Structure 1
Amino acid sequence: MKTLFVAFRVTDLDRSLGFYTALGYGELGRVDPGDGSHLVLLAFPGEPAASLELVHRPGEGRVEASNGVDHLAIQTEDLDATLERLTAAGLEPGPVEHPGGPEGPKTAWLTDPDGYRIELVEWPAGHPDGLTAADFS
């Protein structure tokens, strides 16, 4: 088994698509279940499959993002360049942090239009992609 994607319910689909495409996602496809809802599947360039789904159900009202979801973590190869690009696109990422000390990963945070928090992570040179059991030994 493996995780396929995370789905976020969004209040304003166009606003959220603008945010996530500025972040770097591209739209893979849409599903219209026929009840006024819209599902939009997104992936970063080079990803083999969808990694995020935006779910728009206008009849259910405003989204409360703080209802259990803590954050989405996204890896970047160059955090400083990513922050420059996001700022130029009108997004407002927070400052660079070093949660594991100066030799650990660099991170920065931003928040999407519905309040979902996103952690951007740049691993130190030589660190494999993602978190593995080796990070906890």
Structure 2
Amino acid sequence: MEFLSSRVIIHPSDRERSLVFYRDKLGLAVFREFPGGTVFFLGGGYLELSGRGAGGAGPDVALWLQVRDLAATAAELVDRGVALDREPRLEPWGLREAWLSDPDGVRIALVEVPAAHPMRLDSRPPA
């Protein structure tokens, strides 16, 4: 089995409001647009806004977005009018995280991986 691409699909309650949030507030670049939908670049995958949702966001799903500089990213988002649900802080597992929510309550983790964190280290034995 081989998976060639990945995409998270969100059905917002108000597509225009969510477009403004993801495109203008978060600054995600548009990959493609089609009638009733917009797909954004999202690191190694994509985020699609399409259709119309009615159920709202649940607490069990969140977007995990890695950034280079969490403090600078958080400050820029606040300057753009985005409210943070939780200010940046170092977590016990060694990642720096801040949290925010999209207009429908989708939880978004902004994550900075510090230089000495195991996610950045090459675990292969030396050649």
What SS class does the counterpart of residue 114 from structure 1 fall into? coil
Q: Does 1:85 align with 2:83?
A: no
Distance 1:128 1:55 in 2: 36
Distance 1:87 1:129 in 2: 28
Q: Does 1:120 align with 2:120?
A: no
What SS class does the counterpart of residue 90 from structure 2 fall into? coil
Runs of 4+ in 1 over 4 A off after TM superposition: 126-130
Sequence identity percentage: 34
Deviations 1:92-117 (A, max 9, x none): 1121122226xx11000000001100
Distance 1:98 1:114 in 2: 27
Distance 1:6 1:115 in 2: 15
Q: Does 1:20 align with 2:22?
A: yes
Deviations 1:70-105 (A, max 9, x none): 20100000000001100010001121122226xx11
Paired residue for 1:53? 48
Q: Does 1:108 align with 2:98?
A: yes
Query: Structure 1's 128 and 99: CA in aligned 2 closer, same or farther, altered over 3 A?
Result: closer
Which has the larger share of strand? 2
Provide TM-score, normalisation by structure 2: 0.79
Unaligned runs of 5+ in 2: none
Unaligned runs of 5+ in 1: 33-37
Paired residue for 1:35? none
Instruction: Give 1:70's aligned amino acid.
Output: V
1:9 CA displacement = 0.9
Q: Is the 8 A contact 1:107 1:121 kept in 2?
A: yes
Distance 1:70 1:50 in 2: 16
Query: Structure 1's 129 and 31: CA in aligned 2 closer, same or farther, altered over 3 A?
Result: farther
Provide TM-score, normalisation by structure 1: 0.74
